[in-house]
Chains A and B, each alone.
Chain A
């Protein structure tokens, strides 16, 4: 995992977040500014430092991105 301070996302926030669809873990991708849920196969955007934890706003992962 990359360092957590790139766009100021609070590590304490990351500690308590899970994917709202699968309740699986999230991986923070600071380059793409996303929180990735491998279990649900989606990535939640972080806009202006605010994670958008909504199924409607999540990006479906490309098959190549799924590590399984």
Chain B
């Protein structure tokens, strides 16, 4: 078990939120659909079909339809039972219930941003994959919801003299590449896909986050509840600072994409330093100058 003080999220609360939000969740599910479609593009680009596949977290009724063409058997999980249909299972992304080397493919659409021990989860994902298995994860990260974060912080500090973190801390693409490597995944790649979603009011933004069960769940618990006047002031700040010319509000969502492969002998590997047979100058088609000499005038 982890030291509780090192935890960012209260996982039990994350789960309760997801359970409570299960019923109305499909209305606000447009982002998941887009992510699943993008995952299917990445799967198509590998030119493979994956016999045994796992969709870890982020259970959705659309997953089978969108990813099915690339998969033989597809097992789907979520952290909340209310989201999972028959044939799926409830699993904690921090405590995977799978045998080693079970899957040719693991995808995780919008679930890993709620995990406390991301290195631990990635290590477990690596173990659950067969050699040469493929992993694609997508998580909210980077500057996601920065407008909401800034509006709430400013409104709260103006009106109460103090402020709390009301939007989750996020990982960035650079953090993720390091974590993938640390987890032992080969050919790790991490990139960021920035979306701007537009809303009418701050209340619509917050309503959708609630409908998705994606509201902040800090390990230390939320301190003071958000005061109504603070929320009203935040709505003003949001509308004045982060609106487009037509008055609609911008919401930044940074999707952090991570891909990697379970190590296998067929994959390209870097050569040992000093083992090169061709000089760098030859490789790039230039003339090698002796060290210490000045370049030509």
Contacts and interface: CB of A to CB of B under 8 A. Distances in A.
Interface of A: 8, 10, 12-13, 15-21, 47-57
B98 A17 contact: yes
Q: Which 4 A-B pairs have CB atoms at the shortest separation, nearest pair first?
A: A53-B97, A20-B95, A20-B97, A16-B102
B86 interface: yes
B73 A12 contact: yes
Given A16-B102, A53-B92, A54-B91, A8 B97 contact: no
Contacts of B87: 10, 13, 49
A8 B86 contact: yes
B75 A13 contact: yes
Given A16-B75, A18-B98, A56-B12, 4 more contacts: A48-B86, A50-B81, A51-B89, A55-B92
Interface centre among B75, B91, B96, B97, by most chain A C-beta atoms within 10 angstroms, is B97
A15 B73 CA distance: 12
Contacts of A13: 75, 87, 89
B90 interface: yes
A55 to B, nearest CB: 7
Interface in B95-154: 95-99, 102-103
Contact of A17 (B84, B95, B97): B97
20 contacts: A12-B73, A13-B87, A15-B99, A16-B52, A16-B98, A17-B97, A17-B99, A18-B99, A20-B91, A20-B97, A49-B86, A50-B81, A50-B88, A50-B89, A51-B90, A52-B81, A53-B97, A54-B90, A55-B92, A56-B12
Contacts of B99: 15-18
Contacts of B98: 16-18
Contact of B92 (A12, A19, A20): A20
Contact of A53 (B12, B86, B89, B102): B89
Contacts of B90: 50-54, 57
Contact of A18 (B81, B85, B88, B97): B97
Interface string B55-97: 0000000000000000001010000010011111111100111
A16 B100 CA distance: 8
Nearest to B124: A20
Contact of B81 (A15, A17, A47, A55): A47
Given A12-B73, A52-B90, A53-B92, A19 B81 contact: no
B71 to A, nearest CB: 12
Contacts of A19: 97
A20 B73 contact: no
Nearest to B78: A50
Contacts of A10: 87
Contacts of A12: 73, 75
A8 B89 CA distance: 13
